[in-house]
């Protein structure tokens, strides 16, 4: 749409808004201001009327919703209203409402919210409807719905005005119903296995638990800078130290990073921790969560994501990071034992090494990103990661350069991250020191020293398995959504300079 068309559209909208305000003023002058109404006794939703037609035929019901269409035909009309569960038609006539009320009904606009009382019947075309005996205006819509002109197709505007998106694009509402069902199913799985749901602080004096750049805020009373959490990990493991065997938290995480179709500065994750288990047990529960959630919202474990068929019901493939690289491009890092050998190989393959990442472990991770991740289409656990990129995971006995960690991949994307948790306080303290050195060397994503967490480990953390899953990405997968913004009700958006 060009600038002239935009200007014309804005003028048309402003003209309609003025007309609607004048209608509201007339109603107010006649003592019928809809905004003074505080309650409406609705007896049924649209779905309840349709699902129970045999019992309700000929009986009075009261329904309420937003007018989505009107057909005025002299002394009789039809209108369709939409509520949270769907749409239902109503037949409206001057014989039933009386001339004054019918005349007022004809002034109602698409977008107005009304209540209808009348009996249930079927039209000649067999459409279940309500024959109106009484209609009341419950709220006046002063701004026309965008579909009046061109629909709400602009994705940027849809995300900014989600309330309108939900009205005019019903399939969007279904996505968020499924999101709620997915979260409920995750809770059900964990509750059945004896996990306790807990809540931990969002504001922290130390940023830790992940490799990420934090948001910084300020507490006025304490005159103290604080960090919005980048993970719930360290506090949840403190609770395992305190004697809980199994804990989990579903909550908002904040990372001061870039935005794209997979990343939003605030997102929802679940982290869970179980004493006396390891990362193999976390693989099992990951499979169970994905399988159960797919069954809940898709009624099958065989789904299609962006045209690709995915089977979440079979045993997932399990492969080490080093073997996955060898499988993808033939390079075997088991035969590359020094940092310099790894650096030379990266240069040979034109893989850029960020400053401060000139180690064999970091370069293994770079090769994985370059050659492997995009190839992992069916559900796959990639395990045994380099210690350099896993400061909170336990070392492997067989190769202390690696840790007991896995990530879950589907369709070339990471969906979960898990460890056999590091519970050696001396080792943890040394790794925190390495994080501090990296931070002082310019790495803004490196962690900080957490003396209290080391103290907790000194009290004693049992062998523990831990898992984190990105809820938003899981919802994207199970609703066939391309962008993370499609599964966030209110995604982060750059502010507009002027009110739209």
Q: What is the pLDDT of residue 467?
A: 98
> Does residue 304 form part of some domain?
yes
On whether both 185 and 126 belong to a single domain, the answer is no
On whether both 66 and 191 belong to a single domain, the answer is no
On whether both 22 and 102 belong to a single domain, the answer is yes
8 Å CB contact between 462 and 450: no
Last residue of a domain, one of 149, 183, 218: 149
Last residue of a domain, one of 149, 180, 201: 149
On whether both 410 and 473 belong to a single domain, the answer is yes
Q: What angle do helix axes 279-298 and 471-479 make, rounded to 10 degrees?
A: 40
> Does residue 415 form part of some domain?
yes
Measured in whole angstroms, how far is the alpha carbon of residue 5 from the centre of its chain? 35
Q: Whole-prediction pTM value?
A: 0.90
On whether both 82 and 179 belong to a single domain, the answer is no
What span, in angstroms and rounded, lies between the C-alpha atoms of 147 and 438? 53
> Does residue 359 form part of some domain?
no
Q: Mean pLDDT in runs of 10 for the chain (500 residues)?
A: 58 90 95 95 98 98 97 94 97 96 96 98 97 98 75 78 91 96 98 98 91 93 96 97 98 93 94 98 98 98 97 97 97 95 96 92 97 97 95 92 97 96 94 86 81 96 98 97 95 73
CATH number of residue 224's parent domain: 3.30.930.10
> Does residue 255 form part of some domain?
yes
Q: What is the pLDDT of residue 151?
A: 52
On whether both 38 and 176 belong to a single domain, the answer is no
What span, in angstroms and rounded, lies between the C-alpha atoms of 208 and 50? 53
> Does residue 354 form part of some domain?
no
CATH number of residue 9's parent domain: 2.40.50.140
> Does residue 495 form part of some domain?
no
Last residue of a domain, one of 121, 149, 177: 149
Alpha carbon separation from 388 to 347, 394, 395, 426, 438 (Å, rounded): 20, 12, 11, 17, 11
Provide the 3-class DSSP secondary structure of residue 376.
coil
On whether both 309 and 424 belong to a single domain, the answer is yes
Q: What is the pLDDT of residue 149?
A: 41
On whether both 287 and 390 belong to a single domain, the answer is yes
On whether both 142 and 173 belong to a single domain, the answer is no
Q: What is the pLDDT of residue 3?
A: 55
Provide the 3-class DSSP secondary structure of residue 316.
coil
| Structural domain containing residue 471 | 168-316+378-486
Number of domains in the chain: 2
Q: What is the pLDDT of residue 258?
A: 87
> Does residue 57 form part of some domain?
yes
On whether both 186 and 60 belong to a single domain, the answer is no
On whether both 179 and 100 belong to a single domain, the answer is no
> Does residue 9 form part of some domain?
yes
Name the residue among 279, 240, 233 with its Cα closest to residue 382. Answer: 279
On whether both 238 and 386 belong to a single domain, the answer is yes
């Amino acid at each position: 749409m060009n600038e002239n068309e935009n200007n014309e559209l804005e003028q048309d909208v402003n003209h309609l808004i003025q007309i609607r305000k004048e209608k509201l003023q007339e109603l107010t002058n006649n003592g019928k201001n809809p905004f003074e109404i505080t309650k409406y006794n609705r007896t049924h939703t649209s779905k309840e009327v349709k699902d129970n037609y045999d019992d309700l035929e000929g009986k009075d019901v009261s329904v309420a919703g937003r007018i989505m269409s009107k057909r005025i035909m002299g002394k009789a009309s039809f209108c369709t209203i939409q509520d949270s569960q769907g749409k239902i038609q109503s037949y409206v006539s001057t014989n039933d409402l009386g001339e004054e009320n019918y005349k007022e009904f004809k002034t109602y606009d698409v977008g107005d919210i009304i209540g209808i009382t009348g009996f249930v019947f079927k039209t000649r075309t067999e459409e279940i409807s309500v024959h109106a005996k009484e209609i009341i205006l419950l709220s006046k819509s002063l701004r026309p719905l965008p579909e009046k002109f061109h629909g709400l197709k602009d994705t940027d505007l849809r995300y900014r005005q989600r309330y309108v998106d939900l009205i005019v694009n019903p399939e969007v509402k279904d996505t968020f119903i499924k999101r709620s069902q997915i979260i409920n199913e995750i809770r059900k799985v964990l509750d059945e296995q004896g996990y306790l749901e807990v809540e931990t602080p969002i504001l922290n004096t130390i940023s830790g638990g992940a490799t990420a750049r934090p948001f910084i805020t300020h507490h006025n009373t304490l005159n103290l800078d604080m960090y919005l959490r980048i993970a719930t990990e360290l506090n949840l493991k403190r609770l395992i130290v305190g004697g809980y065997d199994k804990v989990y938290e579903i909550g908002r995480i904040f990372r001061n990073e870039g935005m794209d179709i997979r990343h939003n500065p605030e997102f929802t994750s679940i982290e869970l921790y179980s004493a006396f288990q390891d990362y193999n047990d976390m693989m099992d529960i990951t499979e169970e969560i994905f399988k159960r959630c797919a069954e809940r919202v898709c009624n099958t474990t065989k789904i299609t994501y962006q045209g690709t068929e995915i089977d979440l019901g079979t045993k997932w493939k399990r492969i080490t990071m080093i073997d996955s690289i060898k499988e993808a491009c033939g390079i075997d890092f088991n035969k590359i034992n020094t940092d310099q050998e790894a650096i030379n190989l990266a240069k040979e393959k034109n893989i850029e090494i960020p400053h401060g990442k000139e180690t064999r472990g970091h370069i293994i991770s770079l090769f994985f990103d370059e050659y492997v991740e995009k190839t992992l289409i069916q559900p796959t656990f990639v395990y045994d990661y380099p210690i350099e990129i896993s400061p909170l995971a336990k070392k492997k006995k067989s190769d202390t350069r690696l840790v007991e960690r896995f990530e879950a991949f589907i369709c070339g994307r990471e969906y979960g991250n898990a460890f056999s948790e590091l519970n050696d306080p001396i080792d943890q303290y040394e790794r925190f020191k390495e994080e501090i050195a990296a931070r002082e060397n310019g790495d803004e994503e490196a962690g900080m020293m957490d003396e209290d967490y080391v103290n907790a480990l000194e009290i004693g953390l049992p062998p523990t398995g831990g898992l984190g899953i990105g809820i938003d990405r899981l919802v994207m997968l199970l609703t066939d959504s391309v962008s993370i913004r499609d599964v966030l009700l209110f995604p982060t958006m750059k502010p507009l300079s002027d009110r739209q």
